[in-house]
Structure formats: C-alpha cells, structure tokens
Chains A and B, each alone.
Chain A
C-alpha cells in the first residue's frame, strides 16, 4: 500500500545530502511545523464552513449563500473581519497572562493535532506512548481557559473559566477510561500500531459491545471537552455573555474560536483513530473484490471521511439539545458516565482475557 513514508524519507535524504545533519534537522522541523500549521488552519476554515451549513440544515435553513458561490467565501470574509479588528487591552487586567492565554489554548490543540495519523506515515509525532501524550497535551488547554478567565478581570469570564475547569477535569476521566478500553483491547499505546492493527477489522467491531459503549461515552465526554452545546456552560451566552473569552477581541478571540473548532476536529479524529480504524480501509472478510476496491481509496480520504462523519455526529447533537444545568453536567459525569465506564472497562478486560474479541 502507498505510504507517505517514501516521500518523507526522500525529502530527508535530499536535505541530508545538501546540508549538514544539524541543518537538515532544523529545516525539517521548520517544514513540519509549517505543514502542520497550514493543515490546522485549512481544516479550521473547512470546519467553520461546515458548522454553518450543517447548523443551517438542522434548522431548516440554507446557511450562508451570498458571499461567493454557495457561500464558499463567507469564512474568508469572517477571518478578514476578525483580522482588522482592534485588540483591546483591559483595564486592571493581568497583562501577561491575558495575552498568553489564547496562545496556550492554541498550542495545546496544535500539539494534539500533530499526533493525529492522517495517513500511513503522515503523522508528526509517533512514539510508544502516543495515546498518553495526546491526553496530556489536550488537557493543558484548560489551563489557558482558566488563565483567560482569571486575567480578564471580569466576573463573567471568571465564572465561565471555573465552570470550564470543573467540566473539563471531570470529563477527562471518562475520556481516559474510554481510551483505556481501546488500549486493553489492542495492547499498545502507539498510534501507528493501533491503526495498523485495525486493518484487519475496526476496533468498534472487534471489541463489539464494550467498544461500542466506550465509543458512545467517548463522544459524550469529547463533546463536553470541547465546550460545545449541550455542554457549553463555560460560554453560556445567555447568562455569561461569552464566558471566558468575553473580554477578548480581534485575533485573540479568533484563536479561541479556531482552537474550539480544532478541538472538535481532534476529538473526532481521535475517535475515528481509536474506534473506526483511522486511515485503515473498511474490510469485510470474505468479500475480496470489495476489499480490493476499498484498497484503492487512499488512507487520507478514509481518515478525513471518518473524522468528518464523527464531526457531523457531534454537530447533530450540538444543534439538537439545549444547554444543561451545571449540576446536571456534573452529575451526568460522576453518577452515570464514570460508573458505566468503569463497568465497561471490566467487561472489556474480561472479554480480552477470555478471548471473546474478534
């Protein structure tokens, strides 16, 4: 099967032949960073457009139609508007932390983003504790949100940030439990290996009932992690104006906005990597002709297709349910998701030990 490894190795050899080893390494780092950020921004634009269209469709509207054909240029108009806005500084705010917070949030999501396996060999970071690293990197985004709320010297921001902290720290547990289910099933934490193992069958099929429950819990908890409705209490525009980013304007607000969308992409990307086989194509045992056709679809199409499908699922939920109350959010996590997740973990362990998986 075609692998991006060939291309990256060729570039690596070429750079090493014209530059000293140190120089080649630096150039490679810059190239990789550039590609990652470009992909990040492109996907963010695609997702903002998708969100508008999908949201409109769920509300029986058409969405943006005027700027460009079928509203395709709407997002660029939005970005341009945001870029020409003034970045205001708030009186008696903590200047350093106030300016730092959006970058922390974006950094955490870019770090996690770079772990996603887009196709065979197309992955920035791949090492033996990949899944663990994803969890660690994604969880420090909450620090940026807390700092943003605290440093803007505004009661709404503060309440939003504290809610966000409570919610994210709670739901991180459920995410951890769901990821553990997959780790138990596969016996590895390395992302490339995880995907390779799914070439013979996606984990959601191989792990049947416990994997399916874990998938559902992961989607719920992931939705909460990204602060989207019905878990958008940190923003809760009806009560907190805009929550933790009330005081931010211009591109600083833009960073929060983009990071929120990309966190959604990351949650969906991880879900599709762990449960739906990442870039591994769909195989049905016994149907060789079908499997051969599936092989011709490149891995990146598989990955993006699955990821956007999961994103669509999350958007469906987001545009269906109203915002929850904070006590309901917390009790959903601690009274329902965690016990179910723990039992589910036990079931999966049993299945693996008894050899009841496929």
Chain B
C-alpha cells in the first residue's frame, strides 16, 4: 500500500486497523458467554457427541454385544489398556468349537482416549460415550469390565 508510507497515511491506516480490533472485541462483549458453570448446570449441560469420555460396548436388540474377540483393539492400544480373556465354546448343533469373549477389561486410568481401539474394531463393538464423571477414590475402581 502506497499511502501507508506517508505521515497522514500511517495515521489513517493505524486508526482503521485499531478500529477493526475494537469492533471484534465489542462483538465479543455482547455474544453469549461460553463459560459452563459445571455443578450447577448438570441438568442442562450439553457435551459434544464426539467427546471421548469412557469406553463402552453398545448392545444390539437382543442385549448381546457385537464383539468377536478378535483382539485387534487390545493389540492396537498403545497403552495396553484393554485385556481380553477368551473361552472356547462348542456349538451344540454343528459341533464346531468357536472362540468367544469371556471378559473384556478396560482400565480407564490407563487410557489416553486416542480412539484407536474404536477405529480398528471390525464390528463396531466398542464406542465412547459421554459419561465423563469418572472421579473415584480408588484406582482399582477404574478397571472396568465392559461385557455383561
């Protein structure tokens, strides 16, 4: 800009740029404030859908989880948060034995919420929910069994 080099031009330019800044903050002054007053607004607060608070296993209509105990989630977890115990179950009709999930343990205290486990799961058997009030007095309580 050419006029920015002259004395008057400099003054005009800086006044207009200062005015832009002032306008921005003035808008901010009147917008709705973002502060959440947490314990008081517990009933009305809205947590983003994508918030990763805690791992859980969504159930299908029959009340079964969709996990096939492939172990991908446990292998991909960088923190070793997930431990999977399996059992062999023999199908009474075909007589074939099949690997089934026995116990799915998730250590909330170890998790860094990277969501790799959810992304890697071939059956969408696990997901994150919004249940964020996880403070407990004993670390042992953070080790959660996810399947029923």
Contact = CB atoms under 8 A, between A and B. Distances in A.
Contacts of A316: 22, 25-26, 29
B33 interface: yes
Interface in B1-36: 11, 18, 21-22, 24-26, 28-29, 31, 33-35
A320 B22 contact: yes
23 contacts: A57-B28, A57-B29, A57-B33, A58-B25, A58-B28, A60-B28, A60-B33, A60-B34, A61-B34, A61-B35, A62-B33, A62-B35, A62-B37, A65-B35, A65-B37, A316-B22, A316-B29, A317-B22, A319-B25, A320-B21, A320-B24, A321-B18, A321-B21
Contacts of B18: 321
Contacts of B29: 57-58, 316
A90 to B, nearest CB: 39
Contacts of B31: 60
A9 interface: no
Contacts of B22: 316-317, 320
A347 to B, nearest CB: 16
Interface in A10-24: none
Given A60-B31, A61-B33, 17 more contacts: A56-B35, A57-B29, A58-B25, A59-B28, A60-B28, A61-B34, A62-B33, A62-B35, A65-B37, A316-B22, A316-B25, A316-B29, A317-B22, A320-B21, A320-B22, A320-B24, A320-B25
Contacts, number: 34
Contacts of A296: none
A336 interface: yes
Contacts of A317: 22
Contacts of A336: 11
A58 B31 CA distance: 9
A172 B21 CA distance: 26
B87 to A, nearest CB: 52
A interface SS class: loop
Nearest to A332: B14
Contacts of A62: 33, 35, 37
A224 B22 CA distance: 18
Contacts of B25: 58, 316, 319-320
Interface in B62-89: none
Contacts of B33: 56-57, 60-62
What 6 A-B pairs come out closest when comparing CB atoms?
A62-B35, A320-B25, A62-B33, A61-B35, A57-B29, A320-B21
Nearest to B26: A316
A336 B11 CA distance: 8
A65 B33 CA distance: 13
A60 B24 CA distance: 12
Nearest to A66: B37
Contacts of B37: 62, 65
A317 B19 CA distance: 10
Nearest to B25: A320
Nearest to A339: B7
A98 B29 CA distance: 40
Contacts of B11: 336
A58 B24 CA distance: 9
Nearest to A317: B22
Nearest to B32: A60
Interface string B30-55: 01011101000000000000000000
B32 to A, nearest CB: 8
